[in-house]
Amino acid sequence: LSANNESRGALVVFEGLDRSGKTSQCGRLVSYLEGLGHSVELWRFPDRTTSVGQMISAYLTNKSQLDDHTIHLLFSANRWEKRSMMETKLKAGTTLIVDRYSYSGVAFSTAKGLDFEWCKAPEIGLIAPDLVVYLDITPEKAAERGGYGGERYEQLEFQRKVSQHYKLLKDSSWKIVDACQPLDDVEKQVKEIVLQHIIACQKGKILSSLWS
């Protein structure tokens, strides 16, 4: 497959619990796509490099305390500050592989008890992913994988709630991949699914917005 200037890139989002393997799968996928000659970039949210991202990072590492609504809106603002760059890249033909997006925003905040519709509202108008790869793992299995780290949300009971709330967000753009399989098997499935979607976008699939 050669990159074609006329066609747009695909917006591919990875979601899943902490330690579901998103970061390693995203890395492997990007190397693979680069090897095929695609224009591709790896993004992640939260993007801790911006000033909003630094506030989020301080919160996640327990260096600051914030009201649940406030941190929710900061996560959303962190996506909004990248929105126009995202659109420019996609239209220029670059595929974006994104580690977490609005679904994390809603699943984590609703797991704390915030209202579902309230949580979705600030995400409306962001670019809708062409594909959401959900790496499906039980919270118990994820915890066994070297254990959770020290960040705020990395606790079994909380991850159980997040897992339940993720399920409410599933729509037709989602593909569920069993993340308990060996890494190489997960990787193989992910590559196949993603390539199909990149081709659909090159053929003119229209870019749309959340949450319609």
Q: Which lies closer to ligand TMP via its Cβ, residue 46 or residue 129?
A: 46
Q: Decide whether 44 or 175 has the Cβ nearer to ligand TMP.
A: 44
Q: Under the criterion CB under 6 A, does residue 16 sit at the interface with ligand TMP? A: no
134 touches ligand TMP by CB under 6 A: no
> Which helix (H) or strand (E) is 167 found in, with range?
helix 156-167
9, 16, 21, 105: which one contacts ligand TMP (CB under 6 A)? 105
122 contacts ligand TMP (rule: CB under 6 A): no
Contact with ligand TMP (CB under 6 A): which of 58, 60, 66, 121?
Answer: 60
Of the pair 29, 198, the CB lying nearest ligand TMP is at 29
Residue 153 interacts with ligand TMP (CB under 6 A): yes or no: yes
Q: Can residue 80 be called a binding residue for ligand TMP (CB under 6 A)? A: no
Listed as own residue / partner, the contacts of 120-125 with beta carbons closer than 8 Å and 24 or more positions apart are: 120/211, 122/72, 122/73, 122/76, 122/77, 122/80, 123/76, 123/79, 123/210, 123/211, 124/209, 124/210, 124/211, 125/209, 125/210
**Which value, to the nearest 10 degrees, does the dihedral of the CA atoms of residues 57, 139, 118, 52 take?**
10
